[in-house]
Amino acid sequence: MSLLQTATDALRLDGVRKDFGDRHALQSLSLGIAPGEVYALLGPNGAGKTTTLNLILGFLDADGGRIEVAGIDVARDRLGARARIAYLPETVMLHPQLDAIENLSYFALLGGRRIDGKQARDLLTQAGLQAEAHTRRAGGFSKGMRQKVGLAIALAKDAQLLLLDEPTSGLDASAANDLSHGVRAASRRGVAVLMATHDLYRVKDVAHRLGILSAGRLLTERRTAELSASQIEALYLQELDAAGAVAA
């Protein structure tokens, strides 16, 4: 282990395999994410990004390899691992009759945490939701507003690992920018973030590192500080081309 590595990564995958029948969805995937690090997992449709998230969450069982969340082996203690994870799905479902604060308080309570009005407002603000929307019914919310409440719900859990599945898909530039701020705020609090995304443009802004996945294999990993946004796009296209995959 290098001196720069932390003793316990927030997430570690070692040689993880997953097959669906004779389709190899993941082939020996290994990666690690340190506390406070934001990692963007890029890849075309069918690359294995959602499968990776489902394995980490314990919704699927791996056919080989090992997954650890904050040092907990997911295969041995699925619920213990899941308790340390906050998950923001691509589509956030909220109670349409409840306002943003009530939704947040309700879902936080379901997750075992009671939060008061001030904490709810602070979390919603951190997640980028404007104050005037805090007391509006969620039934009228745009996708971007629902994503922000979803991020606040995830932050309320005080987890060590935040998983995001296509967090900016279908969001306009301003909503995507707000969400990126929320993710960076979580990272500054020491939360590790794994973000599956097609949004190459955001990666430079949000992530410290990126990995390019294609047909269940990690083709390359890079630090985003070493690359410009256009170099990230060029790298992505070049790696997929070399692997014989189609960019999406």
Which residue, 175 or 212, has its beta carbon nearer to ligand ATP? 212
Among 32, 43, 182, 211, binds ligand ATP (CB under 6 A): 43
Alpha-carbon distances of 199 from 62, 151, 176, 209, 242, rounded to whole Å:
27, 18, 10, 14, 21
Q: Does 46 bind ligand ATP (CB under 6 A)?
A: yes
**Ordered strands of the 64-69 beta sheet:** 23-33, 11-20, 64-69, 72-73
Least Å distance, CB 143 to ligand ATP, is 17
Q: Does 91 bind ligand ATP (CB under 6 A)?
A: no
Q: Does 25 bind ligand ATP (CB under 6 A)?
A: yes
Q: Does 168 bind ligand ATP (CB under 6 A)?
A: no
Least Å distance, CB 57 to ligand ATP, is 13
Q: Does 47 bind ligand ATP (CB under 6 A)?
A: yes
Q: Does 51 bind ligand ATP (CB under 6 A)?
A: yes
Which span (41-49, 175-183, 219-227, 231-239) binds ligand ATP, by CB under 6 A?
41-49
Which residue, 29 or 108, has its beta carbon nearer to ligand ATP? 29
Locus of tokens 């269940």: 216
How many residues line the site for ligand ATP (CB under 6 A)? 11
In three-state secondary structure terms, 172 is coil
Which residue, 47 or 149, has its beta carbon nearer to ligand ATP? 47
Residue 18's contacts (CB-CB under 8 Å, 6 or more residues apart) are 24, 25, 26, 48, 51, 55, 60, 62, 63, 216
Contact predicate 169/89, CB 8 Å: no
Name the nearest CA neighbour of 32 among 11, 58, 4, 5. 11
Which residue, 141 or 236, has its beta carbon nearer to ligand ATP? 236
Q: Does 20 bind ligand ATP (CB under 6 A)?
A: yes
Which residue, 42 or 206, has its beta carbon nearer to ligand ATP? 42
Residue 212's contacts (CB-CB under 8 Å, 6 or more residues apart) are 42, 43, 218, 219, 220, 221, 235, 236, 239, 240
Q: Does 167 bind ligand ATP (CB under 6 A)?
A: no
Among 11, 50, 155, 211, binds ligand ATP (CB under 6 A): 50
Residue 60's contacts (CB-CB under 8 Å, 6 or more residues apart) are 18, 51, 54
Residue 241 parent element (H or E): helix 229-243
Residues that bind ligand ATP (CB under 6 A): 20, 23, 25, 43, 45-51
